[in-house]
A and B are shown apart, each in its own frame.
Chain A
Amino acid sequence: VTVPVARRQLFAEPAKLIVTLVAVAAAVALVLLLAGLRRGMGEQVTLYVDHQAPVLVGQQGARNFLSQTSVLPDALIRDIERVPGVAEATPINQEYAMLRLHERPVLALLIGYDPGKPGGPWKLASGRAPSGSAELVLDRVLASEHSLEIGSTLEYRGARLRIVGLSSGTSGFMTPLAFASRTTVSALSRRPGTANFIFVRSDRGVTPAALATRIDRAVPGISALTRREVAANDRRQFVDPFSGPLFAMVALAFAVAVLVIGLAVYSSTAERSREYATLKALGLGGRALYRLVGIQAAGLALTGTGLGFLLALAAARGVSVFAPKYLIAISAGSVAAVAASALAMAVVAALLPSHFLARLDPASAFRR
């Protein structure tokens, strides 16, 4: 006859079990959501570059697409097109646009492109692409957050821009996209006849890295990089500063989870000292007692982690529906790391009552 002692002890106080699992699940969900937010930020930051040609040309010294000034005379486009292996060179103007919506500053990344050429919105939810000056395509999520629709106008840097289309798949926590003609954007910046970057498409059989090197050598005063390099630099630039604080939060959440499991197992062990003393008096060895505690800790850690994973998935889904500008990208890697952490939690939490069990006198079972 076997008695499932660990399970019975866990289920003896269902309310306490639920509270413990909720606390562990909340801590685990927090870890997953923070890691997902960091990853999502990285993906959103490179949203525009990821949809463009594989080589990017900027002013000499350019390493990033975002957060770095680059001014190129339009005349360079011809020079680049003459480089062997170049299929197409597309100039774009780009700037952060601090829009003022509902009396609050709202940041967007404004892209100026030549209508009919690459560089514009890749998916329109409604309306049309900008064709004339002072026309704007705005990210659909940003527009809906501020009750803007096709035909609405907004003021930016003293100009009135009319929304002619809404783009989808162009949302971002820090960098939702807006598109206008290059003429419009360069006029706002008072830099006519210049581009900020030139995206280059290669001929078949020419790798982006080889083409970037070729352009770098052939055209003076520029820096040519592959899209992958630029995206990695942008991600590093935007996401790395948040890594320290995010890591601290994750560490804190992990500590809370360990504490909660430890607390639950320790208090239940302490409360059942009489039961454990009886088991000891009946001949249950120290190792078996530790296993009993370990099973309870592991059960709480794994179940809490599973619930936390489901909670994080539900929260990520909720965020994508109710706050689509945030992307929470929960990766298999972070789930695996959390699962491994759950086992670590169980080990640490099970160690807490071990000292108590070691000191427990079997004879105490016969006292009152």
Chain B
Amino acid sequence: MTARMSVPLARRQLLFRKGRTLAGIAGISAALLLVLALNAIFAGINDRLTAYIDGSGADVIVAQRGVDTMHMTQSALPEQTATAVVAVPGVAGAKPILYVPAMIERGEKRGIVYLIGDDSGGAPLPLSAGRRPDAGEIVLERSLAERLGATPGSSVRVFGQSFRVSGEVEGLASILNSVAFVRRQELARVLGIGGVVSYVLVRARPEVRAAELAARIETSVPGVTASTREAFARSERRVVGDMTTDIVRAMILVGFVIGVAVAGLVAYSATLSQLRDYAVLRALGLRARRAHALATAQVGATVVAGFLLALAFVWVLAAILPSLSPTLVLAIRTGDVAQALSVAAAVTLAAAAFPVLRVARIDPASVFRR
């Protein structure tokens, strides 16, 4: 009977100089944090971008032909479109809205909003305070209301007109913009654009599928594009996604380079200080391939620890940032985590090359010299 003994070499070597290992983990986590945080910020913007559509209660959104987004988009339909849509079989209700970017001012404080002219005052989105707007009144998103110091009952100015704040909604603002609601006819009057609406929000009868209804509306009403809520939201997300793809890619590249450099530096330094250990192990019969695996395992363990630290940090940021800045929302997606993990794997492979090349040059006989 033979007793097998094993020595956890990789772990012991890593823990030999704890400070260096911790510094390496911190550096790698910072590099991966660049990738994770940026993706989370853009995902958060995307979620808020479609918050209004998601909560609008519409099954189908009708816009001017060729239009299937709201953000930074113009759509103009004749007011009669809503009447024509209601007549389409399967429509339970159709609500016309005006949707324009506007500046809201209170004293010297200002904020850009998408001002929505909606006679229901934003229903069915729940109000977090106050009530729906009447004539001369406005509902603000809470974060903007707080920034402007505009509590319900106070006044703000839009297009040079004074509006009394009647209530607040919540969860619709991103770092890019906010949302506010006024009565549609009033907004049309202020802008001097009677007879035109931007979109018609359509509710389908329970027995009708949204996609089927959208197709029916496009066939029956000329000059419009009808999209299901899901397709519309997807299109909205694509706008920001396309705009930010290059930046995210660049950040991934930078994160990769920094990650490789930090992990490579740590691994290389560790290998240099342990050259004698490696020589002893080689003299004791450790094959070159196992020695390389040992060096790679150390890099891999450091990178995995760095990755987990970065993930934990983003998680904490996502939890605490909204309470510090309500519009800065971080959303952690599985796909983005997988992407960061693949960057981490690439970092491991590239960084492991430094110690592996050094270990490959070790002469086992060197341990008997000096």
Do A and B assemble together? yes
A256: which B residues are within 8 A, CB to CB?
27, 30-31, 258, 262
Q: Is the CB of A260 within 8 A of B66?
A: no
Q: How far is the CA of A68 from the CA of B72 in the complex (A)?
A: 10
- The residue on B at minimum CB distance from A355 is B19
Q: How far is the CA of A270 from the CA of B193 in the complex (A)?
A: 75
**A17 to B: closest C-beta gap in Å:** 10
For residue A105, CB closer than 8 A to chain B, the reply is yes
Q: Is the CB of A61 within 8 A of B242?
A: no
6 residue pairs of the A-B complex, CB under 8 angstroms, read: A69-B100, A96-B72, A190-B78, A241-B176, A252-B34, A268-B269
B78: which A residues are within 8 A, CB to CB?
190
Segment of A21-29, A84-92, A284-292 engaged in the interface with chain B:
A21-29
Q: How far is the CA of A248 from the CA of B312 in the complex (A)?
A: 17
Kindly identify, within residues 115 to 144 of chain A, every residue whose CB is under 8 Å from any CB belonging to chain B: none
- The residue on B at minimum CB distance from A263 is B23
Size of chain B's interface in residues, with CB distance under 8 A?
72
**A12 to B: closest C-beta gap in Å:** 10
- 0 or 1 for each of B241-253: is its CB under 8 Å from A? (1 = yes): 0110011001100
Q: How far is the CA of A245 from the CA of B160 in the complex (A)?
A: 33
Q: Is the CB of B65 within 8 A of A157?
A: yes
Size of chain A's interface in residues, with CB distance under 8 A?
69
Q: Is the CB of A60 within 8 A of B261?
A: no
Of the listed residues B17, B31, B258, B325, the one surrounded by the most CB atoms of chain A closer than 10 A to its CB is B258
Kindly identify, within residues 234 to 275 of chain B, every residue whose CB is under 8 Å from any CB belonging to chain A: 235, 238-239, 242-243, 246-247, 250-251, 254, 257-258, 261-262, 264-266, 268-269, 272-273
- 0 or 1 for each of A332-367: is its CB under 8 Å from B? (1 = yes): 000000000000000000000000000000000000
- The residue on A at minimum CB distance from B195 is A190
Q: Is the CB of A61 within 8 A of B192?
A: no
Residues of chain B at the chain A interface (Cβ within 8 Å): 17, 19-20, 23-24, 26-27, 30-31, 33-34, 37-38, 41, 64-69, 72-76, 78, 100-103, 105, 110, 112, 115, 157-161, 175-177, 191-193, 196, 223, 235, 238-239, 242-243, 246-247, 250-251, 254, 257-258, 261-262, 264-266, 268-269, 272-273, 325, 328, 354, 358
**A46 to B: closest C-beta gap in Å:** 16
Cβ contact of B265, chosen from A16, A69, A252, cutoff 8 A: A16
Q: Is the CB of A97 within 8 A of B74?
A: yes
A260 with B262, Cβ < 8 A, contacts A68-B101, A68-B102 known: yes
- The residue on B at minimum CB distance from A187 is B76
Q: Is the CB of A98 within 8 A of B261?
A: no
Q: Is the CB of B266 within 8 A of A263?
A: yes
For residue A282, CB closer than 8 A to chain B, the reply is no
For residue A79, CB closer than 8 A to chain B, the reply is no
Q: Is the CB of A26 within 8 A of B103?
A: no
A19 with B239, Cβ < 8 A, contacts A67-B112, A244-B175, A326-B246 known: no
Q: Is the CB of A263 within 8 A of B103?
A: no
B246: which A residues are within 8 A, CB to CB?
323, 326
